[in-house]
């Protein structure tokens, strides 16, 4: 039996998932890869930390030199997170002819082209299936099975933590803070959960998907981003009244060679399949000009689902080791124009607090009218003489028109407060 030695950089949620899968499915993995996959070293930060798995102590090291200098290690599996030292370790590994697997979306989205270029120059394989949507095989899907298509649209729920939080706030009415704490406990959240909540994590993933699906270099800074921090229980309740569910969506659309790239909370029709993607599940819809509509669905975070993608990459390397013929790549044939968010067309939910005085609704409605924003419906809740909530749903309009209207409404007087604006995607159900 041939043996291959790998090193894990990191033994947190995903590292432990990889360890468990290698043990749980060892016989199948031997049959499927032709190798006995052995963990030779595990890099961690804190050697004294209690580990809840029975791992021989001598495998742990805090010194990367123990791995890079060990010629018996063929594959480095980077599961530490962050940009540095993770990227430096991966580049060093490639230069020492070690194949690399990672689940680090932040590193791929920001340094992916350097990593790909170096892997090609060094003739090593570089795989990163776990970096987008956990256990869903979307990267192999795009790079391999869907390569015959021109992709026209990708819309997805690509962050497990925020989907878990929104699901719990919607279905069980628990607080944002409690739901986040649960997501952290379950191992879904990033080391710094701001990355999930403020949608940086989803932006990294959308950046990787856009590069792969639309043959272009995408900078993370060109992606419009809004997190779920401002989604309040009252917005979830209004969404329900209007027949919607709020999800954090990543959206890529190509029209006339221009890309729309945005991540933001979105109201989706309650009867649409995306509205029923709950907890840590992710789903990605895409439209190809040959395959038509496709939906990928599965666990988007967590130790075993992500470990599944990582171990799959290790096996892909072992299967291709002799021929070294397959290098998944971020396409980098130049930049496509990215649409400014002001030019994006959507329907909008707008919640405003106003003093309930005669004429206020008329004033606000006339501002919308002046800016070509047509109102589909409006709800007013609250008692007279108090502050009341006005909720507008607009017809499809340019975001620029909404922003002009909001500027004018804010200038009306001090008691009008724009509480929230949430985009609505009817996803072909209108
Ligand atoms: P954790 O925070 O749970 O684990 C990180 C591990 O890396 C820890 O073992 C830590 O050591 C080690 N580590 C961190 N920095 C260093 C360093 N400078 N030197 C040595 N060791 C270091 O992270 P996750 O397992 O959750 O995530 C790992 C990667 O996988 C990230 O890139 C993440 O974005 C990605 N990912 C995570 C998913 C998930 O569901 N959690 C899903 C998909 C991708 P120590 O144990 O000593 O603290
Ligand atoms: N923190 C990420 C999420 C992990 O919640 O989706 C999976 O990439």
Show me where the domains of the chain are located: 2-134+303-320, 138-299, 341-424
Atom 4 (ligand 2): residue with closest C-alpha? Answer: 301
- Which residue has 């200038």 as its token pair? 411
Paired tokens of 403 = 């922003």
- Which atom of ligand 1 is nearest the CA belonging to 302? 40
CATH class of this structure's domain 2-134+303-320: alpha beta
Ligand 2 geometric centre to CA of 387 (Å): 39
pLDDT in tens, the chain (430 residues): 799 999 999 999 999 999 999 999 999 999 999 999 999 999 999 999 999 999 999 999 999 999 999 999 999 999 999 999 999 999 999 999 999 999 999 999 999 999 999 999 999 999 999 999 999 999 999 998 999 999 999 999 999 999 999 999 999 999 999 999 999 999 999 999 999 999 999 999 999 999 999 988 899 999 999 999 999 999 999 999 999 999 999 999 999 889 999 999 999 999 999 999 999 999 999 999 999 999 999 999 999 999 999 999 999 999 988 765 545 555 556 778 999 999 999 999 999 998 888 888 999 999 999 999 999 999 988 766 678 899 999 999 999 999 999 999 999 876 679 999 999 999 887 6
Confidence (pLDDT) at 329: 53
Closest ligand to residue 280's CA: 2
- Which atom of ligand 1 is nearest the CA belonging to 44? 21
Mutate to test the pocket of ligand 2, among 107, 190, 195, 248 (most ligand atoms within 8 A of CB): 190
Ligand 1 geometric centre to CA of 163 (Å): 21
Confidence (pLDDT) at 430: 67
User: What is the C-alpha separation between 158 and 155, in angstroms, rounded?
Assistant: 9
User: What is the C-alpha separation between 158 and 296, in angstroms, rounded?
Assistant: 11
- Which residue has 């993770």 as its token pair? 86
- Residue ranges around ligand 1 (CB below 6 Å): 10-15, 43-46, 49, 79-81, 85, 103-105, 130, 134, 187-188, 190-191, 301-302, 306
Q: Which CATH superfamily is domain 341-424 in?
A: ACT domain (3.30.70.260)
User: What is the C-alpha separation between 18 and 26, in angstroms, rounded?
Assistant: 11
Annotated binding site for NADP(+): 9-16
Active site residues: 205
Mutate to test the pocket of ligand 1, among 12, 112, 193 (most ligand atoms within 8 A of CB): 12
Burial grade of 73 (CB within 10 A; 0-12, 13-18, 19 or more): buried
Domain range 138-299, CATH architecture:
2-Layer Sandwich (3.30)
Confidence (pLDDT) at 324: 52
Residues with Cβ within 8 Å of 351's Cβ and at least 6 positions away in sequence, in order, are 234, 235, 238, 389, 390, 391, 418, 419, 420, 421
Give the length of the chain: 430
> pTM to 2 decimals?
0.96
Ligand 1 geometric centre to CA of 10 (Å): 5
Closest ligand to residue 130's CA: 1
Contact indicator for 142, 237 with CB cutoff of 8 Å = no
Annotated binding site for NADPH: 105
Atom 1 (ligand 2): residue with closest C-alpha? Answer: 189
User: What is the C-alpha separation between 132 and 115, in angstroms, rounded?
Assistant: 17
Mutate to test the pocket of ligand 2, among 10, 14, 134, 306 (most ligand atoms within 8 A of CB): 134
């Amino acid at each position: 039996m041939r043996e291959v030695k790998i090193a894990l950089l990191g033994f947190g949620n995903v590292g432990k998932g990889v360890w468990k899968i290698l043990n749980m499915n060892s016989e199948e993995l031997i049959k499927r890869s032709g190798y006995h996959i052995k963990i030779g070293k595990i890099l961690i930060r804190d050697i004294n930390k209690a580990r809840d798995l029975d791992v021989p102590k001598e495998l742990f090291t805090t010194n990367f030199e123990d791995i890079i200098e060990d010629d018996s290690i063929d594959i480095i599996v980077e599961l530490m997170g962050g940009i540095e030292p993770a990227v430096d370790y991966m580049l060093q590994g490639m230069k020492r002819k070690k194949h690399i697997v990672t689940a680090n979306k932040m590193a791929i989205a920001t340094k992916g082209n350097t990593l790909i270029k170096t892997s090609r120059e060094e003739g090593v394989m570089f795989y990163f299936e776990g970096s987008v949507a956990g256990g869903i095989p979307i990267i192999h899907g795009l790079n391999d099975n869907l390569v015959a298509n021109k992709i026209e649209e990708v819309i997805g729920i690509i962050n497990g933590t925020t989907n878990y939080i929104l699901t719990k706030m919607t279905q069980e009415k628990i607080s944002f803070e409690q739901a986040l704490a649960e997501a952290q406990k379950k191992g879904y959240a990033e080391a710094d959960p701001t990355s999930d909540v403020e949608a940086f994590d989803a932006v990294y993933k959308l950046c990787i998907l856009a590069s792969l699906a639309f043959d272009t270099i995408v900078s993370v800074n060109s992606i419009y981003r809004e997190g779920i921090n401002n989604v309040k229980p009252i917005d979830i309740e209004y969404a329900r009244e209007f027949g919607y569910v709020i999800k954090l969506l990543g959206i890529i659309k190509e029209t006339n060679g221009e890309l729309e790239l945005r991540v933001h909370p979105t109201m989706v029709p309650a009867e649409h399949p995306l509205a029923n993607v709950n907890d840590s599940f992710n789903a990605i819809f895409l439209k190809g000009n040959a395959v038509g509509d496709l939906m990928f669905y599965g666990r988007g975070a967590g130790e075993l689902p992500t470990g599944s993608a990582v171990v799959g990459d290790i096996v892909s390397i072992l299967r291709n080791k002799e021929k070294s013929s397959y290098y998944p790549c971020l396409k980098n044939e130049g930049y496509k124009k990215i649409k400014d968010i002001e030019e994006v067309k959507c329907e909008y939910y707008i919640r405003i607090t106003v003093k309930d005085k005669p004429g206020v609704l008329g004033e606000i409605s006339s501002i919308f009218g002046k800016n070509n924003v047509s109102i589909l419906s409006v709800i007013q809740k609250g008692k007279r003489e108090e502050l009341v909530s006005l909720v507008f749903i607009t017809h499809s309009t340019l975001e620029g028109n909404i922003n002009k209207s909001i500027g004018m409404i804010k200038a009306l007087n001090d008691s009008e407060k724009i509480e929230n604006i949430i985009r609505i995607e009817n996803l072909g159900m209108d």
